[in-house]
């Protein structure tokens, strides 16, 4: 709409321009020249205030400017043909609406500065600095340098020098908008925009949120997608960036299938909610963040999202609903190499099934078979594997769409010929409890009358299901989490519609908000503690076994561990190579708000118990082996670097400036 209006004005304006040139050009009579008379240039007039008359600067709070302008353009035409004005005309599209109209108005204040009483005024440095602070990320997101003509020191001045605020007109409307949002009764505190965001906008929101809450949040990238987009994580903790002794860590992953987008949106909203509620003194959020380290990756597949979003926009024709449904069901599911990321993890479940009769075999910390690295490993999968190996995660949820249910491991059927077969892990009771935690706190998921999406057939469900009983597949992420690390992950299917209409996003948030919070809090269920030696030093890599559950947990760097458990009596054993075992019997009450503390002290053993040799199966390699032949480095990283180099030579937005008059704006290219 806005775009159309501008376009029409451009046409009108061009007509006007032609007229101006026509009327203005013959300064002297052609016949004078013919007769050999010299045609004198008129005396240069003293510059005067003139009407702005520039299309993209028509909403400034003033109407008069003067040429030459601050950049030295002598006429309006010259200013209009320059790359600076061209940038202002496309910046809305380039940044996907981010920082609009602030950047444009800031630029206008330099191109057509305010003129009063035949004198040019300069815009305020403080405004420039504020815009730069909040918009730098948007430029970084598209790898564009901060435009030279928005250099706050060069072209802007301080209050003392008599500056004007270029965003003056804007402030009033924004305050009005703000006031109307604040009146909504449901969310009195946190202002969240319930709309879709591009990848650039998403990353910018995450970084901005971390800037708003620097005491409790930070962002970091775990790697890049095929097309070079950052896989950006935001972390919340009272000591961001650091693992604290005994503080459990959990993660949320969204948008693994690029076309399943509600999870991505919920996680973006969740980060904004956590930050602002913490600042507003919400007790529940404060104690959650003060006792937990939370990592949120809203999009594991930004390339797929881009494809799916473009397609949904293209088929957004109400007449063509069938095509819309068809495309959104499949397009963008995989990454840019069309790899389904939830089939791309090492299939350790088959390994576990193959070895289950082996006497000493345990279903935990299974090494990645070397053969895995010779198949195609997506950079997104690689990044997540590295990530989950590097942090002692306890609990995780991974968000999808297409059904309304929480599914839990295993996803691979224990019988190769049975497609829908109940295939529990040794932690079946714990996983059911974890899955229930989300489903029961969700507005509609666990209700018997809840609308399912048809993929269960006649099986009655209460909102949770064993993955393989639903349908079997290999190479999924939750099975890998369980069999390779200490982390217990479930898959949350958020609803039938994989790409819901924007109007439904708010309802989606309302339905899931409580579940998202309760699930994070549930990481404190079960027990935790430290395994130490006789001198009081933590033992890294010690095993915590629970009788009756063939799945050990190992201790982290400083000997701390977390074991999610159901209520009841449990017999625990701690062991480590070179130490004697220690055993404890505990009773875990049904209603515990925080993890029960169980510490162990292990004595040095004279004779080493022979657990380790039996456990290691020689053909499998060891847990430490990760990409042993550098297969991934060799292929994927090179491909990625090539992509990146190509982009550096020619950023995607460069074509916008091909029609720039004179020299191309190389000042927009970043020098990294
Ligand atoms: Zn999915």
Give residue 246's pLDDT band: very low, low, confident or very high (50, 70, 90).
very high
What gap in Å lies between CA 423 and CA 8, rounded to an integer? Answer: 63
Ligand 1 centroid distance, CA of 261 (Å): 9
DSSP track, 447-487: -TT----STTTT---SSEEEHHHH---SS-HHHHHHHHSS-
Q: Dump pLDDT digits (tens) for 634-654.
A: 666 556 556 555 545 567 777
Q: How confident is the model at residue 455 (pLDDT cuts 50, 70, 90)?
A: low
- Yes or no: say if 481 and 434 are a contact pair by the CB < 8 Å rule: no
Q: Give the pLDDT band of residue 375 (cuts 50, 70, 90).
A: confident
Cα-to-chain-centroid distance, residue 197: 10
Order of strands across the sheet that contains 549-554:
549-554, 543-546, 568-575, 582-588
Q: Calculate how far, in angstroms, residue 401's C-alpha sits from the geometric centre of ligand 1.
A: 6
Flag whether pLDDT at 440 surpasses 90: yes
Q: How far is the CA of 376 from the centre of ligand 1 (A)?
A: 20
Interval between CA 493 and ligand 1 midpoint (Å)? 8
pLDDT bucket at 24, cuts 50 / 70 / 90: very low
Please tell me which residue, 170 or 405, carries the higher pLDDT value. 405
Residue 283 has pLDDT above 70, yes or no: yes
The pLDDT of residue 173 is above 70: no
Instruction: Provide the 8-state DSSP code for 402.
Output: S
Cα dihedral: 475, 479, 484, 486 (round 10): 160
Tell me the CA–centroid distance for residue 449 and ligand 1, in Å.
23
Residues whose CB is less than 8 angstroms from the CB of residue 29 and which lie 6 or more positions away in sequence, other chains included: none
Q: How far does residue 346's CA lie from ligand 1's centre (Å)?
A: 18
Q: How far is the CA of 308 from the centre of ligand 1 (A)?
A: 13
List residues with catalytic annotation: 493
Give distance in angstroms: CA of 400 to centre of ligand 1: 4
Q: Has residue 564 got a pLDDT over 80?
A: yes
Q: What is the pLDDT of residue 501?
A: 92
Strand partners, 406: 464, 492
**Residue 464 contacts residue 456 (beta carbons within 8 Å):** no
Q: Which two tokens stand for residue 216?
A: 């409790």
Instruction: Give the mean model confidence (pLDDT) for residues 331-349.
Output: 95
């Amino acid at each position: 709409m806005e775009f159309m209006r501008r376009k029409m004005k451009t046409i009108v304006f061009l007509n006007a321009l032609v007229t101006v040139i026509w009327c203005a050009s013959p300064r002297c009579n052609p016949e004078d020249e013919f007769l050999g008379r010299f045609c004198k240039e008129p005396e240069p007039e003293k510059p005067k205030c003139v009407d702005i008359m520039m299309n993209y600067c028509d909403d400034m709070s003033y109407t008069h400017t003067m040429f030459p302008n601050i950049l030295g353009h002598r006429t309006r035409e010259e200013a209009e043909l320059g790359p600076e004005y061209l940038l202002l005309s496309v910046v809305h599209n380039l940044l996907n609406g981010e920082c609009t109209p602030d950047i444009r108005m800031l630029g206008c204040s330099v191109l057509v500065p305010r003129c009063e009483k035949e004198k040019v005024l300069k815009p305020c440095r403080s405004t420039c600095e504020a815009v730069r602070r909040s918009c730098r990320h948007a430029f970084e997101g598209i790898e564009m340098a901060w435009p030279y003509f928005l250099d706050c020191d060069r072209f802007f001045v301080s209050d003392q020098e008599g500056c004007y605020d270029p965003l003056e007109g804007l402030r009033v409307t924004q305050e009005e908008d703000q006031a109307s949002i604040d009146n909504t009764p449901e969310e009195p505190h946190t202002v969240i925009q319930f709309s879709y965001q591009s990848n650039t906008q998403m990353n910018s929101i995450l970084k901005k949120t971390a800037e708003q809450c620097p005491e409790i949040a930070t962002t970091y990238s775990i790697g890049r997608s095929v097309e070079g987009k950052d896989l950006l994580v935001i972390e919340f903790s009272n000591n961001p960036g650091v693992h604290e002794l005994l503080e459990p860590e959990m993660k949320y992953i969204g948008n693994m299938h690029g076309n399943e987008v509600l999870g991505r949106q919920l996680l973006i909203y969740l980060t904004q909610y956590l930050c602002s509620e913490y600042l507003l003194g919400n007790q529940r959020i404060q104690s959650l963040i003060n006792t937990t380290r939370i990592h949120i990756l809203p999009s594991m597949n930004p390339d797929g999202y881009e494809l799916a979003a473009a397609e949904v926009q293209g088929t957004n024709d109400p007449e063509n609903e069938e095509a819309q449904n068809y495309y959104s069901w499949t397009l963008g599911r995989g990454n840019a190499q069309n790899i389904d990321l939830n089939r791309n993890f090492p299939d350790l479940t088959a390994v576990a099934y193959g070895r289950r009769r082996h006497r000493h075999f345990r279903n935990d910390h299974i090494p990645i078979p070397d053969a895995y690295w010779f198949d195609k490993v997506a950079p997104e999968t690689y990044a997540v594997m590295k990530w989950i190996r590097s942090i002692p995660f306890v609990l995780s949820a991974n968000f999808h769409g297409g059904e309304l249910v929480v599914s839990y491991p295993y996803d691979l059927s224990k019988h190769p010929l049975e497609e829908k077969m109940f295939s529990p892990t040794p932690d079946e009771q714990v996983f059911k409890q974890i899955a229930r935690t989300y489903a029961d706190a969700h507005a509609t998921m666990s209700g018997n009358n809840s609308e399912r999406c048809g993929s269960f057939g006649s099986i009655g469900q209460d909102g949770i299901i064993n993955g393989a009983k639903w349908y079997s597949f290999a190479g999924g992420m939750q099975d890998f989490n369980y069999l390779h690390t200490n982390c217990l992950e479930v898959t949350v299917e958020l609803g039938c519609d994989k790409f819901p209409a924007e109007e439904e996003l708010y309802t989606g948030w309302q339905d899931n908000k409580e579940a998202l919070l309760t699930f994070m809090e549930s990481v404190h269920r079960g027990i935790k503690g430290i395994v130490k030696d006789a001198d009081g030093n933590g033992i890294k890599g010690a095993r915590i076994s629970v009788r009756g559950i063939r799945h050990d947990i190992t201790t982290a760097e400083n000997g701390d561990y977390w074991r999610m458990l159901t209520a009841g009596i449990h017999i625990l054993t701690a062991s480590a190579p070179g130490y004697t075992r220690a055993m404890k019997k505990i009773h875990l009450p049904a209603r515990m708000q925080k993890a029960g503390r169980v510490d162990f002290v292990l004595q040095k053993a004279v004779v080493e118990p022979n657990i380790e040799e039996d456990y290691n199966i020689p053909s499998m390699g060891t847990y430490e082996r990760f990409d042993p032949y550098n297969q991934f480095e060799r292929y994927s990283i090179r491909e990625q670097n090539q992509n990146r180099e190509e982009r550096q030579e020619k950023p995607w937005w460069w074509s916008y400036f091909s029609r720039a008059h004179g020299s191309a704006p190389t000042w927009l290219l970043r020098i990294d």
